[in-house]
Amino acid sequence: MSKAIIKIEDLKREFTMGTETVHALRGISFDIKEGEFVTIMGSSGSGKSTMLNILGCLDQPTSGTYEIDGVRVKDLSRNELATIRNEKIGFIFQSYNLLARTSAIENVELPLLYNSKVSTEERRKRAIEALEKVGLGERLHHTPSQLSGGQQQRVAIARSLVNNPVMILADEATGNLDTRTSYEIMALFQELNKQGITITFVTHEPDIATFSSRTIVLKDGEVMQDYENHNIQSAANELAKLPKQDD
Protein backbone atom coordinates (compact mmCIF):
# COMPACT_ATOMS: atom_id res chain seq x y z
CA MET A 1 0.00 0.00 0.00
CA SER A 2 1.50 3.36 -0.95
CA LYS A 3 1.59 6.20 1.52
CA ALA A 4 -1.49 8.38 2.07
CA ILE A 5 -0.63 11.99 1.29
CA ILE A 6 -4.03 13.37 2.21
CA LYS A 7 -5.77 12.32 5.40
CA ILE A 8 -9.17 13.78 6.16
CA GLU A 9 -11.13 12.85 9.23
CA ASP A 10 -14.60 14.01 10.18
CA LEU A 11 -14.07 17.31 8.41
CA LYS A 12 -16.74 19.94 8.99
CA ARG A 13 -17.07 23.45 7.62
CA GLU A 14 -19.78 25.85 8.66
CA PHE A 15 -20.46 29.34 7.42
CA THR A 16 -22.44 31.86 9.39
CA MET A 17 -24.73 33.88 7.18
CA GLY A 18 -26.36 36.43 9.42
CA THR A 19 -28.22 34.40 11.99
CA GLU A 20 -28.23 31.16 10.00
CA THR A 21 -25.47 28.60 10.02
CA VAL A 22 -24.83 26.87 6.72
CA HIS A 23 -23.30 23.42 7.01
CA ALA A 24 -21.26 23.13 3.84
CA LEU A 25 -19.42 20.01 4.95
CA ARG A 26 -20.96 17.76 7.55
CA GLY A 27 -18.25 15.35 8.55
CA ILE A 28 -16.18 14.02 5.69
CA SER A 29 -13.46 11.42 5.95
CA PHE A 30 -11.24 9.99 3.23
CA ASP A 31 -7.60 9.46 2.38
CA ILE A 32 -5.84 10.02 -0.91
CA LYS A 33 -2.83 7.85 -1.57
CA GLU A 34 0.25 8.71 -3.53
CA GLY A 35 -0.24 8.12 -7.26
CA GLU A 36 -4.02 8.20 -7.23
CA PHE A 37 -6.13 10.09 -9.74
CA VAL A 38 -9.21 11.10 -7.79
CA THR A 39 -12.21 12.95 -9.14
CA ILE A 40 -14.44 14.70 -6.67
CA MET A 41 -17.92 14.97 -8.14
CA GLY A 42 -21.08 16.60 -6.98
CA SER A 43 -23.80 18.94 -8.11
CA SER A 44 -23.84 22.62 -7.13
CA GLY A 45 -24.26 23.08 -3.43
CA SER A 46 -22.86 19.67 -2.64
CA GLY A 47 -19.89 21.24 -0.89
CA LYS A 48 -17.29 20.45 -3.49
CA SER A 49 -16.02 24.02 -3.78
CA THR A 50 -15.62 24.20 -0.02
CA MET A 51 -13.88 20.82 -0.11
CA LEU A 52 -11.54 22.13 -2.80
CA ASN A 53 -10.72 25.29 -0.84
CA ILE A 54 -9.83 23.24 2.21
CA LEU A 55 -7.86 20.68 0.20
CA GLY A 56 -6.01 23.59 -1.39
CA CYS A 57 -5.22 25.14 2.01
CA LEU A 58 -7.04 28.30 0.98
CA ASP A 59 -9.55 27.77 3.77
CA GLN A 60 -9.57 26.13 7.19
CA PRO A 61 -12.10 23.54 8.37
CA THR A 62 -14.35 24.42 11.30
CA SER A 63 -13.57 21.07 12.90
CA GLY A 64 -11.99 17.77 12.03
CA THR A 65 -8.45 17.16 10.85
CA TYR A 66 -6.79 17.65 7.50
CA GLU A 67 -3.27 16.43 6.98
CA ILE A 68 -1.30 16.93 3.80
CA ASP A 69 2.04 15.13 3.38
CA GLY A 70 2.25 14.67 7.13
CA VAL A 71 1.48 18.32 8.02
CA ARG A 72 -1.61 19.08 10.05
CA VAL A 73 -3.10 22.12 8.42
CA LYS A 74 -5.42 23.15 11.19
CA ASP A 75 -4.26 26.14 13.22
CA LEU A 76 -1.59 27.20 10.76
CA SER A 77 -1.25 30.96 10.15
CA ARG A 78 -1.97 32.68 6.84
CA ASN A 79 1.71 32.76 5.98
CA GLU A 80 2.28 29.12 6.92
CA LEU A 81 -0.67 28.16 4.72
CA ALA A 82 0.89 30.15 1.87
CA THR A 83 4.12 28.18 2.27
CA ILE A 84 2.22 24.84 2.21
CA ARG A 85 0.41 25.93 -0.96
CA ASN A 86 3.69 26.96 -2.47
CA GLU A 87 5.55 23.74 -1.71
CA LYS A 88 2.96 20.97 -1.71
CA ILE A 89 0.09 21.87 -4.00
CA GLY A 90 -0.20 22.69 -7.69
CA PHE A 91 -3.37 24.56 -8.64
CA ILE A 92 -5.18 24.40 -11.94
CA PHE A 93 -8.24 26.59 -12.42
CA GLN A 94 -11.19 26.50 -14.77
CA SER A 95 -10.31 29.91 -16.21
CA TYR A 96 -6.54 29.18 -16.32
CA ASN A 97 -5.72 32.36 -14.33
CA LEU A 98 -2.58 33.12 -16.26
CA LEU A 99 -1.08 36.58 -15.97
CA ALA A 100 -1.89 38.47 -19.15
CA ARG A 101 0.99 40.22 -20.96
CA THR A 102 3.37 37.80 -19.29
CA SER A 103 5.11 35.08 -21.27
CA ALA A 104 4.38 31.39 -20.73
CA ILE A 105 7.72 30.80 -19.10
CA GLU A 106 7.27 33.69 -16.67
CA ASN A 107 3.82 32.42 -15.78
CA VAL A 108 5.29 29.01 -15.03
CA GLU A 109 8.08 30.51 -12.95
CA LEU A 110 5.61 32.37 -10.74
CA PRO A 111 5.28 29.80 -7.88
CA LEU A 112 9.07 29.52 -7.66
CA LEU A 113 9.35 33.32 -7.23
CA TYR A 114 7.79 32.83 -3.83
CA ASN A 115 10.22 30.11 -2.92
CA SER A 116 13.48 31.65 -1.83
CA LYS A 117 15.24 28.26 -1.92
CA VAL A 118 15.17 28.21 -5.72
CA SER A 119 17.81 30.22 -7.57
CA THR A 120 17.10 32.24 -10.70
CA GLU A 121 18.88 29.79 -13.02
CA GLU A 122 17.17 26.79 -11.49
CA ARG A 123 13.82 28.54 -11.72
CA ARG A 124 14.28 29.08 -15.45
CA LYS A 125 15.50 25.51 -15.96
CA ARG A 126 12.57 23.98 -14.09
CA ALA A 127 10.05 26.20 -15.91
CA ILE A 128 11.42 25.07 -19.28
CA GLU A 129 11.28 21.42 -18.19
CA ALA A 130 7.68 21.80 -17.03
CA LEU A 131 6.64 23.44 -20.29
CA GLU A 132 8.37 20.70 -22.27
CA LYS A 133 6.50 18.12 -20.23
CA VAL A 134 3.14 19.59 -21.31
CA GLY A 135 4.27 19.87 -24.94
CA LEU A 136 4.82 23.62 -25.09
CA GLY A 137 8.60 23.56 -25.40
CA GLU A 138 8.27 25.65 -28.57
CA ARG A 139 6.11 28.38 -27.09
CA LEU A 140 8.10 29.54 -24.10
CA HIS A 141 7.81 33.23 -24.89
CA HIS A 142 4.23 33.43 -26.09
CA THR A 143 1.84 35.46 -23.98
CA PRO A 144 -1.56 33.96 -23.02
CA SER A 145 -3.34 36.00 -25.70
CA GLN A 146 -1.17 34.30 -28.33
CA LEU A 147 -2.15 30.83 -27.12
CA SER A 148 -5.34 28.79 -27.57
CA GLY A 149 -7.49 27.81 -24.58
CA GLY A 150 -6.01 24.31 -24.51
CA GLN A 151 -2.50 25.72 -24.68
CA GLN A 152 -3.25 28.18 -21.91
CA GLN A 153 -4.47 25.33 -19.75
CA ARG A 154 -1.26 23.47 -20.54
CA VAL A 155 0.72 26.47 -19.34
CA ALA A 156 -1.37 26.37 -16.16
CA ILE A 157 -0.60 22.66 -15.79
CA ALA A 158 3.10 23.37 -16.26
CA ARG A 159 2.81 26.05 -13.60
CA SER A 160 1.25 23.53 -11.21
CA LEU A 161 4.07 21.05 -11.88
CA VAL A 162 6.99 23.39 -11.54
CA ASN A 163 7.24 23.28 -7.76
CA ASN A 164 7.13 19.46 -7.68
CA PRO A 165 3.97 19.38 -5.58
CA VAL A 166 2.76 16.29 -3.72
CA MET A 167 -0.64 16.78 -5.32
CA ILE A 168 -2.15 18.64 -8.26
CA LEU A 169 -5.51 20.14 -7.49
CA ALA A 170 -7.62 20.86 -10.54
CA ASP A 171 -10.84 22.84 -10.31
CA GLU A 172 -13.07 22.11 -13.32
CA ALA A 173 -9.90 22.24 -15.38
CA THR A 174 -11.74 21.28 -18.57
CA GLY A 175 -14.83 23.38 -17.92
CA ASN A 176 -13.92 26.07 -20.43
CA LEU A 177 -12.72 23.75 -23.16
CA ASP A 178 -14.47 21.94 -25.99
CA THR A 179 -14.72 18.14 -25.90
CA ARG A 180 -11.73 17.55 -28.10
CA THR A 181 -9.44 19.83 -26.16
CA SER A 182 -10.68 18.53 -22.83
CA TYR A 183 -9.83 14.99 -23.93
CA GLU A 184 -6.39 16.23 -24.87
CA ILE A 185 -6.00 17.79 -21.45
CA MET A 186 -7.33 14.63 -19.74
CA ALA A 187 -4.86 12.56 -21.75
CA LEU A 188 -2.12 14.83 -20.42
CA PHE A 189 -3.37 14.36 -16.86
CA GLN A 190 -3.41 10.58 -17.32
CA GLU A 191 0.08 10.75 -18.71
CA LEU A 192 1.28 12.77 -15.71
CA ASN A 193 -0.55 10.38 -13.36
CA LYS A 194 1.29 7.45 -14.94
CA GLN A 195 4.54 9.24 -14.08
CA GLY A 196 3.42 9.01 -10.44
CA ILE A 197 1.86 12.42 -9.85
CA THR A 198 -1.16 12.47 -7.55
CA ILE A 199 -4.10 14.34 -9.04
CA THR A 200 -7.31 15.50 -7.45
CA PHE A 201 -9.80 16.71 -9.98
CA VAL A 202 -12.96 18.50 -8.97
CA THR A 203 -15.64 18.34 -11.63
CA HIS A 204 -19.33 17.96 -12.26
CA GLU A 205 -18.94 16.20 -15.60
CA PRO A 206 -19.43 12.43 -15.21
CA ASP A 207 -17.43 11.49 -18.30
CA ILE A 208 -14.32 13.14 -16.83
CA ALA A 209 -14.65 10.77 -13.88
CA THR A 210 -14.31 7.76 -16.15
CA PHE A 211 -10.70 8.73 -16.82
CA SER A 212 -9.77 8.67 -13.15
CA SER A 213 -8.84 5.81 -10.89
CA ARG A 214 -11.23 6.77 -8.12
CA THR A 215 -14.33 8.89 -7.72
CA ILE A 216 -15.69 10.55 -4.63
CA VAL A 217 -19.24 11.85 -4.95
CA LEU A 218 -20.37 14.53 -2.54
CA LYS A 219 -23.95 15.39 -1.80
CA ASP A 220 -25.20 17.93 0.74
CA GLY A 221 -21.86 18.08 2.46
CA GLU A 222 -21.44 14.34 2.90
CA VAL A 223 -19.64 11.65 0.96
CA MET A 224 -22.35 9.79 -0.94
CA GLN A 225 -20.15 7.45 -2.93
CA ASP A 226 -16.47 6.62 -2.90
CA TYR A 227 -15.48 3.97 -5.40
CA GLU A 228 -12.43 2.71 -7.23
CA ASN A 229 -12.73 2.83 -10.97
CA HIS A 230 -11.67 -0.53 -12.33
CA ASN A 231 -12.41 0.31 -15.91
CA ILE A 232 -10.31 3.42 -16.50
CA GLN A 233 -10.94 4.90 -19.95
CA SER A 234 -7.95 6.12 -21.84
CA ALA A 235 -8.46 9.74 -22.85
CA ALA A 236 -6.01 9.24 -25.69
CA ASN A 237 -8.21 6.46 -27.13
CA GLU A 238 -11.37 8.53 -26.71
CA LEU A 239 -9.63 11.35 -28.51
CA ALA A 240 -8.81 9.07 -31.41
CA LYS A 241 -12.46 8.01 -31.63
CA LEU A 242 -13.68 11.59 -32.06
CA PRO A 243 -14.49 12.55 -35.63
CA LYS A 244 -11.53 14.12 -37.37
CA GLN A 245 -11.55 17.89 -37.62
CA ASP A 246 -11.00 19.52 -40.94
CA ASP A 247 -8.30 21.95 -39.93
Partner 1 sequence: MLGIIIGVASVIAMLAIGEGSKESIRTTISSMGSNMITIKAGADVRGGVRQEASVMESLTLSDYEAIKAQSTLLSYSSPVVDGRGQVINGSNNWPSSIYGVNPEYLNIKVVGLQSGSMFTDTEVQTAAKVAVIGQTVVENVFPDGQDPVGQMIRFNNIPFKVIGVLEEKGENTFGQDQDDVFIAPYTTVQKRILAIDHLNQIMSSAISEEDAPNAVLEVSEILREQHKLTDTDTDDFTVRSMEELISTFSSTSEMLTILLVAVASISLLIGGIGIMNIMYVSVKERTKEIGLRMAVGGKGSDILMQFLIEAILISITGGILGVILGLGATVFIEKFLNWPTSVAMYSIVISFVVCAVTGIFFGWYPARKASALDPITALRYE
Which member of 134, 159, 161, 200 binds partner 1 (CB under 8 A)?
159
Report the alpha-carbon distance of residue 199 to residue 166 in Å, rounded.
Answer: 9
Closer residue to partner 1 in complex, CB, 77/245: 77
Task: For residue 38, give the nearest of 48, 47, 46 by alpha carbon.
Answer: 48
**Rounded least distance, CB 169 to partner 1, Å:** 10
Binds partner 1 by CB under 8 A, chosen from 16, 19, 44, 79: 79
Please report how close the Cβ of residue 106 comes to partner 1 at its closest, in angstroms: 13
Which residues between 15 and 44 bind partner 1 (CB under 8 A)? none
Residue 114 makes contact with partner 1 by CB under 8 A: yes
Q: Is 97 in the site for partner 1 (CB under 8 A)?
A: yes
Among 40-48, 109-117, 213-221, 226-234, which window interacts with partner 1 (CB under 8 A)?
109-117
Q: Does 213 bind partner 1 (CB under 8 A)?
A: no
Q: Among 14, 34, 67, 87, which residue sits at the site for partner 1 (rule: CB under 8 A)?
A: 87
- Nearest approach in angstroms of CB 155 to partner 1 is 13
Least gap, CB of 60 to partner 1 (angstroms): 11
In DSSP terms, which residues pair with 68 in a beta bridge?
6, 71
3-state secondary structure of 83: helix
Cα distance between residue 36 and residue 59, in whole Å: 23
* Using rule CB under 8 A, residue 110 touches partner 1: yes
Q: Where are the alpha helices (DSSP H) in 90-216?
A: 104-113, 120-133, 149-161, 179-194, 206-209
Nearest residue (CB) to partner 1, 59 versus 207 = 59
User: Any contact of residue 241 with partner 1 (CB under 8 A)?
Assistant: no
Helix (H, G, I), strand (E, B) or coil at 179: helix
Asked whether position 91 contacts partner 1 by CB under 8 A, the answer is yes
- Binding to partner 1 (CB under 8 A) within 48-67 occurs at 53, 56, 58-59
Give the C-alpha distances (Å, rounded to integers) separating 1 from 4, 35, 146: 9, 11, 45
CA distance 89 to 199: 10
Q: Which of 60, 62, 65, 86 binds partner 1 (CB under 8 A)?
A: 86
* Closest alpha carbon to 34 in 57, 7, 66: 7
- Asked if residue 85 binds partner 1 (CB under 8 A), the reply is yes
Spatial contact of 122 and 128, defined as CB atoms under 8 Å apart: no
164 binds partner 1 (CB under 8 A): no
Q: Are 136 and 168 in contact (CB under 8 A)?
A: no
What is the full DSSP assignment across 139-161? -TT--GGGS-HHHHHHHHHHHHH
Give the interface with partner 1 as residue ranges (CB under 8 A): 53, 56, 58-59, 78-79, 82-83, 85-87, 91, 93, 97, 99, 110-111, 114-115, 159, 163
